[in-house]
Amino acid sequence: KVKGLKDYYQAYFPIGVAVNPRMVNEGAESSFIVQQFSSLTPENSMKMGPIHPQENVYNWEASDKMVAFAQQNGLKVRGHNLCWHNQTPAWFFKKDNRVVTKEELLARLKAHIFEVVKHYQGKIYVWDVVNEAVPDTGLSMYRKSKFYEIIGEEYIAKAFEYAHEADPNALLFYNDYNTESKAKREKIYQLLKGLKQKGVPIHGVGLQAHWSIDEPTQSELEESITKFASLGLKIQITELDISVYPKEHERRERRENDGVGIFTDEMEQKQIQQYKMVFDVFRKHKQNITSVTFWNLSDQYSWLDNFPVTGRKDFPLLFDKNLKPKKAFWEVVKF
């Protein structure tokens, strides 16, 4: 029997992967998922737009399929996500050709969260309840999303309260990226501290971990983990990938992108070091880290192939396009 990532990490935390429905059909990818992983997250299908395209209309098919696959094969499921500024359908904020009132939007948010959380009650053990509510820059603690503009900051607490009411056994997480950057980390910390102080039912924080070969540094990462853990919150790494492009490359790439990607030896060496560092840190902090999920399965496909520009090939994962473990894989399981 092949030893999978999840087996190496059995004494530490479940290892998850973001999937889409076609990956759980019969075939090489689905058996590979079962061999390597012990948790899965639907990459897109549980988001508000895909799952709730019109008022009172729910699309369960894609998500049900992945949840059933997980149950049949003994994988845990992370629910992603209940409230986000992105992939939210336009109807949600409109009524009779006007913008919804605060009360109407809260009622819609509650109806949405109740319907989705109850549908998967007992099958999804943890939900990303609010996703990316804090802006990267500026002084404001809150992203100026439609939820924020119409409801105000309390939409965040309300979303957690609704989710808790819908399924009191589910673990409820706040999920965000760039959680290692000092300014943003501080804002997220203040937000979460405030929620805890008000007695809002929040159990953890998801560090998305869309990283690159040059960030975060070990000290930035450890500082984030210890700081959030000091609030009594559990930590999950929810969307891990390590871009082979330096972060600073992102801006230049908008002009220089030639649509061709080559996984050079230099990229590979840097990526190996970064993967090794972050997994060393995860194991060191295993009392606080309760799950590590990769955002996509292999270098065959990644959302990063379309970010920051379409057609820039990236190689951010531990398996190559043929599902063969890369050198970074062997570093991560060597301890």
Using CB under 6 A, list all residues that contact ligand G3I.
Answer: 43-44, 86-87, 131, 177, 208, 239, 303
The smaller minimum CB distance to ligand G3I, of residues 21 and 246, is found at: 21
The smaller minimum CB distance to ligand G3I, of residues 52 and 106, is found at: 52
Record the tokens describing residue 120, joined without a space. Answer: 């998967």
**Alpha-carbon span 145 to 133, nearest angstrom:** 8
Helix (H, G, I), strand (E, B) or coil at 197: helix
The smaller minimum CB distance to ligand G3I, of residues 106 and 208, is found at: 208
Record the tokens describing residue 17, joined without a space. Answer: 């992967």
239 in active site: yes
| DSSP structure string for 156-192 | HHHHHHHHHHH-TTSEEEEEES-TTSHHHHHHHHHHH
Provide, rounded to whole angstroms, the least separation between the CB of residue 47 and ligand G3I: 7
Annotated catalytic residue, options 180, 239, 248, 266? 239
Torsion angle of C-alpha atoms 27, 29, 33, 36, degrees rounded to 10? 110
Q: Please identify which residue in the block is written with the tokens 């501290």.
A: 193
Helix (H, G, I), strand (E, B) or coil at 234: strand
Provide, rounded to whole angstroms, the least separation between the CB of residue 2 and ligand G3I: 27
Q: Which of 212, 236, 241 is nearest to 77 (CA)?
A: 236
Provide, rounded to whole angstroms, the least separation between the CB of residue 168 and ligand G3I: 26
Residue number closest to ligand G3I, CB atom: 303
Provide, rounded to whole angstroms, the least separation between the CB of residue 265 and ligand G3I: 28
The smaller minimum CB distance to ligand G3I, of residues 8 and 303, is found at: 303
Please give the positions annotated as active site.
239
